[in-house]
Structure 1
Amino acid sequence: MFAKNDSVRGAAMAALRERLGNDAVLDREEQLDHYGRTTLPSAPLPAAVVLGKTKNDVVACVEIAKQFGLHLYPISGGKNWGLGSACPTTEGQIVLDLSGMNRILEVNEELGYAVLEPGVTQGQLYQHLKDKNIDLWLDATGAGPDATIIGNLMERGYGHTPNGDRFHNSCAYEVILADGTILETGWAHNKESRVSNLSKTGLGPSIDGLFTQSNLGIVVRATIWLIPKPECFTAYAFRLESQDDLCATIDALRPLRSLGVINSVVHLANDYRVISSHRRFPHDQLSGEDALPESIRSKFREELGLGKWNVLGGIYGTKASVAGVRKSLKKSLKRITRPIFIDDKKLSLFDFVYRYSSWVPPVKKLKAKVESGRSAISLLKGEPVRDHLGGSGWRSKLTWEQKPTDPLDRNDGVIWITPLVPLTSSACNEFLNLIEPIFERHGFEPLLTFVMISERVMCCPTTICYNREDESETVRANACYQDLLKHSMNHGFPPYRAGIQTITSLANNDPYWNFVARLKGELDPKKLIAPGRYARS
């Protein structure tokens, strides 16, 4: 509950306004509705919103929460689309919006790191590096330039570069605990340390992980590691025409990943995933209860030059090392497909050709494919782009021309589930044979991407797109999600992150979650911080 009664509520809001200022506390209906927008079928509304702009603001909020029995739900930007966005886990929580804490505190070019506050966005850091001529690349996700870096880090998200595992390429968290204590992890707590931003672990237990996917504290600063701009960069891409080819490719790439020949994240997206970023579901030809028929699916594939599966990765290094990786890729894939290699020189050459022959039909047709590839390659080079956000509106009835870039502004219907799958052909085959019939049964298209996040495991961001304005379709989408979650868990494919509607059902009564509950009880006995978030409610 927000507060025991109206008088307590009024006193709490007055205290927040006194400490943070009138403009920092939002409680008008339209303001709460704005923060309560969701791509899910439904989500709780916040009881109020507080805008924290400094570390002291966060400490003040925690102190007032303790005094009045409030529950704070911290967000860094609220771009957690498909998993809850800015919405709290339960009614009665106050959203603590940290997007105003957006300072880039330090960038060290020599050692390759940046120290950030939680509101710093991908676009902001990218532009900073560009403006200052700093030869470092960040790891970018497909969430666009307005998504925050620490927000994704706190969910242990993945990007595209050699630093694609964001959690393992971060350190030195500054955390506000529920009693107001300011805790620094790793070596950051040692003021004489010269390696605070360079080493993930300090001396003793490593506790960074306690504050990701958790409600044990509020992270107000973190260090992320960046990659030096390589001497040579080349993207590689190829199409696969069958599930058998996909499985064979996984077995072919795994040894290269294990040996470090491929040192970055590889994305293997099905045609539905790519089509959704360039086309809209043909509502004029189909009812909402139908999935896309094969005839239209194959037509879209042909128009966009897609395979049933489409693979993209990057090679980073010296000219000699990149040449060696190219050779290894071609050799490993020779019985399956032939990869193409794309770099800035090839893109510039196409631009030159297009400038003088744009009227030639084959060149004109190739233009859209090149621009799509250019956008994907930008991500591999650490440049966040908006192009891939359009996919969440696959089942929207708005046209491309009508659609803003934020899925919440478009009222997109999106539910995300993110199973982990062993990096083997047999596991891939089993997983696809498990979930594709579930999508078919509920009348939706499976938008899938296998992401090789390590040499042993893939995550599979799986998207249910639906029309939120269609009540029956919304009900079916939720049923589809519940089926996917149940069957993927039962078959050993658990999600690597969870939405606000899910975690309490996953946090069961076993020693692991009992231990988490004991930590919560010790650090935050009044459950001031995000009750029910990655913990039992």
Structure 2
Amino acid sequence: MPSSTRHTTSPEQMAAARRSFAAVVGAQNLFFDAQDQEAYADAFAVDDNLHRPAGAIAPDTVEQIQAIVRIAAEHRIALWPISRGKNLGYGGSAPVLAGSVILDLSRMKKIEYDEENGTVLLEPGVGFYDLYDFLKARGLKHWLSTPGNSWGSVIGNALDRGVGYTPYGEHTTKLCGMEVVLADGTLVRTGMGALTNSPTWQLYRFGFGPAWDQMFVQSNFGIVTKAGLWLMPEPESLMGMDLEFDKPDDLGPLIDAIAPLRREGVLQQSPTIGNWLRAAAILTTRNEWTDQKGALSDAVIAAIRKKFQMGWWGVSLRLYGRETINREAYAILEREMNKLKPLSMKPTNWKRGDPLEMTGWTGTPITFPMQNANWHGGRGGHIGFSPVLPQSGSAAMAQFRRTYERYKEYGMDYQASFAFGERHLINVNAILLDKDDPAMMARVDPFIRALVADAKAQGYGEYRTHLDYMDLVASTYDFNDGALGKLNDRVKAALDPHGVIAPGKSGIGSVTRQAQAGEPS
């Protein structure tokens, strides 16, 4: 199993820091008892003893955050900032470094809306449901892009490169301008926000000189207290189709058919091709079909697919914008998909003024996909493995075959999808856990390490990973003796020499080295 380095703050240091924290936010906003520690732990942890926080503190202003980081530096307290703590499958609200104090920003929920330009300036505690309700009350002139589990933070999801289903589905690319507290308490605004009272802070991404927004994505260089986000104007029409394909080998031709349409811009959204279990795990549970351990047999898979009338792979394609343009584009989609002889093709059509379908395709927040955590019943969960691939049918088929064989080897049920970007694919694999099955849980760590090694052998790296594997995944980015990781460490050392903010996040700064040196200590 992964080892867990523990924060070495003395009880006296922690007690003194807690008194200072309470003076800043009030004792009612400190959470340090055993129940609080459990609440901020990783609900889907493979090993519940790893990554346990010391407690949490919940500020609601930027000034409080500035005071908190100065106190943390004084007492060598490690802080782990979270927006809403819903990063399930990747660690939830838990820290890399056990004994860290969670900096819970979920009370910070301000929204500023520029209706004319279609932008918002959000604090980290604004969730997808919050923003959706805010926009709905104003007539939904702009649409969100939401992930499959939409109870998290809009900004937190973008900062971890989460994805959605509309043309604005690559969320991190829609960030524009941030406000950030650095480890010494300095407050910085990036891009055009570096000009006092700039009216273009959420309109132009880059500003003058180096553009820092992406430096605070998946990093521990600062604490994002506000971020701008572009929203999609409500389209005149939405057209598309839901398709099912019968055989595992249909994946490659399907990717090769969709990829040029995505690159040309015929498809502006980023479709996701999901396997049968991605759908079935929210409709049924495993024990309804078998009591056999190990990976599901082909016979059981066939029975589940037959009952729910689903293909081995399914994909939804959507077109957004002017109706006349969508009609022409739809004819292209229909022609190209019919060449593949799908098992089924169900068209969908919406025009402005019609009732809105409540799905991710319309930017409606949803949570039902989280039902997959109950696939095994009991104490379930999942953990993700998500390497980045080229948009190539042959590469995707090879990746699928390698990974599917690994799932069978380790006795796991295969749930996976291939999510399109403009030029890349992300192969999102969910490992569905049964925390009441010790034998299965003992296989999870070697299974994930095998998957990481298999991907690395092809030159593929993960875009996002669980706390347990941040150092491992960072080490696969090894060009020129890991020059990128060393650059990250140099920036971290310059901005946060005591390692106060999220030590170990994304493999930046060696948690083990810090603990041995007493930083934070």
- TM beyond 0.5: yes
Q: Aligned with 2:277: secondary structure? A: helix
CA distance in 2, matches of 1:6, 1:139: 44
Q: Aligned with 2:491: secondary structure? A: helix
1:431 paired with 2:387, answer no
Per-residue CA deviation, residues 265-321 of structure 1 (Å, 9 max, x unaligned), is 10100001111111111277323x322222221121122121000011221011101
Alignment of 1:66-465 (within 5 A): 66-104=73-111, 106-144=112-150, 146-282=151-287, 285-287=290-292, 289-337=293-341, 339-344=345-350, 378-397=359-378, 411-454=379-422, 456-465=423-432
CA shift for structure 1 position 536: 3.5
Match of 1:360 in 2: none
Match of 1:468 in 2: 435
CA shift for structure 1 position 507: 2.8
Give, as a single letter, the amino acid of the residue that structure 1 aligns with 2:493: G
Q: 1:215 to 1:317 in 2, by over 3 A?
A: same
Match of 2:492 in 1: 520
Identical counterparts, % of pairs: 27
CA distance in 2, matches of 1:532, 1:2: 11
CA distance in 2, matches of 1:18, 1:517: 33
Per-residue CA deviation, residues 63-100 of structure 1 (Å, 9 max, x unaligned), is 10011111000001111111100110011210101011
Q: Aligned with 1:492: secondary structure? A: coil
The answer as to whether partners of 2:389 and 2:427 remain within 8 angstroms in 1 is yes
CA distance in 2, matches of 1:97, 1:83: 17
The answer as to whether partners of 1:291 and 1:443 remain within 8 angstroms in 2 is yes
CA distance in 1, matches of 2:449, 2:90: 14
CA distance in 2, matches of 1:135, 1:176: 32
How many residues of Structure 1 are paired with residues of Structure 2 in the alignment? Answer: 493
CA distance in 1, matches of 2:262, 2:473: 31
Could you list the runs of 4 or more consecutive aligned residues of structure 1 that deviate by over 6 angstroms after TM superposition? none
Give, as a single letter, the amino acid of the residue that structure 1 aligns with 2:376: R
CA distance in 1, matches of 2:225, 2:87: 18
Give, as a single letter, the amino acid of the residue that structure 2 aligns with 1:421: L
Q: 1:496 to 1:3 in 2, by over 3 A?
A: closer
Match of 2:62 in 1: 55
Give, as a single letter, the amino acid of the residue that structure 1 aligns with 2:31: L
Per-residue CA deviation, residues 350-370 of structure 1 (Å, 9 max, x unaligned), is xxxxxxxxxxxxxxxxxxxxx
CA distance in 2, matches of 1:297, 1:3: 49
CA distance in 2, matches of 1:319, 1:199: 29
CA distance in 1, matches of 2:147, 2:473: 26
Q: Aligned with 1:132: secondary structure? A: coil
CA distance in 2, matches of 1:137, 1:56: 32
CA shift for structure 1 position 412: 2.2
CA distance in 2, matches of 1:231, 1:178: 46
- 1:478 aligns with one of 445, 453, 458: 445
Give, as a single letter, the amino acid of the residue that structure 1 aligns with 2:89: G
Structure 1, gaps ≥5 residues long: 350-372, 398-410
CA distance in 2, matches of 1:137, 1:327: 25
Q: Aligned with 1:126: secondary structure? A: helix
Q: Aligned with 1:501: secondary structure? A: helix
The answer as to whether partners of 1:396 and 1:466 remain within 8 angstroms in 2 is no
The answer as to whether partners of 1:417 and 1:463 remain within 8 angstroms in 2 is yes
Q: Aligned with 1:303: secondary structure? A: helix
CA shift for structure 1 position 395: 1.5
CA distance in 2, matches of 1:253, 1:5: 57
The answer as to whether partners of 1:281 and 1:292 remain within 8 angstroms in 2 is no
Q: Aligned with 2:318: secondary structure? A: strand
CA distance in 2, matches of 1:93, 1:296: 45
Give, as a single letter, the amino acid of the residue that structure 1 aligns with 2:12: S
CA shift for structure 1 position 503: 1.2
Give, as a single letter, the amino acid of the residue that structure 2 aligns with 1:167: T
The answer as to whether partners of 2:461 and 2:473 remain within 8 angstroms in 1 is no
Q: 1:374 to 1:468 in 2, by over 3 A?
A: farther
Q: Aligned with 1:502: secondary structure? A: helix
Match of 2:509 in 1: 536
CA distance in 2, matches of 1:283, 1:440: 20
CA shift for structure 1 position 4: 4.2
Q: 1:486 to 1:3 in 2, by over 3 A?
A: closer
The answer as to whether partners of 1:172 and 1:222 remain within 8 angstroms in 2 is yes
Per-residue CA deviation, residues 247-267 of structure 1 (Å, 9 max, x unaligned), is 111111111111111000101
Match of 1:492 in 2: 459
CA distance in 1, matches of 2:474, 2:263: 32
The answer as to whether partners of 1:137 and 1:227 remain within 8 angstroms in 2 is yes
- 1:504 aligns with one of 467, 471, 486: 471
TM-score, scaled to structure 1: 0.89
Structure 2, gaps ≥5 residues long: 1-5, 476-480, 511-521
The answer as to whether partners of 1:507 and 1:536 remain within 8 angstroms in 2 is no
Q: CA RMSD in A?
A: 1.8
CA distance in 1, matches of 2:334, 2:249: 18
Q: Aligned with 1:461: secondary structure? A: strand
Per-residue CA deviation, residues 401-428 of structure 1 (Å, 9 max, x unaligned), is xxxxxxxxxx423111111111111111
Per-residue CA deviation, residues 168-219 of structure 1 (Å, 9 max, x unaligned), is 1111111100011111111111125322111111111111111001000000
Q: Aligned with 1:529: secondary structure? A: coil
Give, as a single letter, the amino acid of the residue that structure 2 aligns with 1:414: H
TM-score, scaled to structure 2: 0.91
CA shift for structure 1 position 344: 4.6
The answer as to whether partners of 1:41 and 1:413 remain within 8 angstroms in 2 is no
Bigger Cα displacement from structure 2, 109-118 vs 388-397: 388-397
The answer as to whether partners of 2:289 and 2:300 remain within 8 angstroms in 1 is no
